[in-house]
Amino acid sequence: MELIFHEKQEGSLCAQHCLNNLFQGEYFSPVELASIAHQLDEEERMRMAEGGVTSEDYRAFLQQPSGNMDDTGFFSIQVITNALKFWGLDVILLNSPAYQKLGINPINERSFICNYEQHWFTIRKFGKLWFNLDSLLEGI
C-alpha cells in the first residue's frame, strides 16, 4: 500500500486539510480558498444588486459577514464545491434527491467529504480499506 498523506489541523482550516487529504497532497492553500470565497461573495453581491442597490435587502446584505468564510479560516460547502470543480468533480449530498436518483452505492465510492459540528474531514478508500483522514486525528 502506498503512503497515505494526512495533513494535520492548523487553526480552523479544516476545509483546506480536508481537500488536501482527499487529493493526497498540498493542493490547496488558505489563500486559494479565500480567493474562491471572495469570488462567491462578489457573485452573491451582484445577484443581490439586481434587486436594486438602494433596497433594504441589499443594504442589509452588505452589512452581513461572508457566508463563505469567516475570520477563523472556516470555509463553506460552496467554497469546497467550487474548489472541487477545478478538478472536474461534483459534490453530491447524501441526503439529496440527486443522490437517491443516481442509486449510488457508498461501498463503490472512493471518498467522502464529511461535516460534523462545523468541522470538515475526508473519509477515503485506499485499496479495499477505508481511512478516516480527519485532520484532528493524530495519525493513521
The residues that are catalytic are: 14, 119, 134
| Amino acid (1-letter code) at residue 11 | G
Cβ neighbors of 6 (< 8 A, separation 6 or more) are 21, 133, 135, 137, 139, 140
CA dist., res. 55 & res. 61, Å (int): 10
Residue 121 burial by CB count (10 A; 0-12/13-18/19+): exposed, middle or buried?
buried
